[in-house]
Amino acid sequence: MPLNYHHLRYFWAVAHDGNLTRTADRLNLSQSALSVQIKQLEQRLGHALFERRGRQLHLTEAGRIALDHADAIFATGQELVATLQETGRSRQALRVGAQATLSRNFQIGFLRPILARPDVEVILRSGSPTELLEGLATLNLDLVLMTREPPGDSLTPYEVHPVADQAIGIVGTPDRLDPDTPLAELLRRQPFILPTTDNTVRTAFDALASRMGLRPQIAAEVDDMAMMRLLAREGIGLALVAPVVVQDELRSGRLVEARDHPAISERFHAVTLQRRFPNPLVRDLLEANSAAGPAT
């Protein structure tokens, strides 16, 4: 007997709500009718999908497996509708998510190949890695820009495209930084504006300082590149950043870069999800950035 997808959708709704009464009200069904639908699905699958603990419903092991499959099934349906609704439209939408701490200058550079196209509307959102990957999984985003590869498994088949390797430099105001000063001397005498300790660049910097037997003075720990740029402009300390973050200030001379580099780089990734109907703009954008060559 084939699976009844109406039963599966009712189960899916209850599983995400975690409350039978609330789901029944939202779907305009009686609680008993909803219970019957789920019971019939359990009979078809041969396993209980929920167990009751007090007033709350909790998924069994079989229920968790069923929910994973239901998520994939209904996400595919949403993907089909979204893809086919775009057919025939004069402007195509590309939904891009970017890690909130990512350099705005880098984002603009990555998106530049399609920003000027009259047939494309770019929708750009920022958030945490968890929020962005959830947006990919629910098909609310087509592509995500991150500095770390996401964890992968068979249920979330991410495709990770390295798009740039940025050499990290040390920048500061001309009053604070003589570009010819050796790196060791800078680490001994100058305060530093650094990324937070969960950042791979910070990890590499701390390891470098340790190998040199130095403990630099930390003026600030910052998880936002825009704030790091502003603090460097104010002369609070020397900032450990990719030059793309402060490219305007370097051109104007408001900031200068040390010539003795710390030999640290940061990789940027474009993350997509395997889809039956991928947005063709994603391929165009990745090809354009690949043709431009990796940033350094």
Q: What is the pLDDT of residue 81?
A: 74
Task: Specify the CATH number of the domain 5-83.
Answer: 1.10.10.10
Closest of 94, 110, 102 to residue 294, by C-alpha: 110
pLDDT at 229 over 60: yes
Would you state the CATH architecture of domain 90-163+267-292?
A: 3-Layer(aba) Sandwich (3.40)
| pLDDT tens, position by position, 97-119 | 998 878 888 899 899 999 888 88
90-163+267-292 and 169-263 in the same fold = yes
| pLDDT tens, position by position, 175-222 | 999 999 999 999 999 999 999 998 889 999 999 999 999 999 999 999
Task: Specify the CATH number of the domain 169-263.
Answer: 3.40.190.10
Averaged pLDDT of the chain:
87
Domain residue ranges of the chain, discontinuous segments joined by +: 5-83, 90-163+267-292, 169-263
**CA torsion angle 90 95 101 104 (round to 10):** -10
* Dihedral angle sign, alpha carbons of residues 196, 103, 227, 177: positive
Identity of the residue numbered 85: Q
| pLDDT tens, position by position, 275-292 | 877 888 999 999 988 865
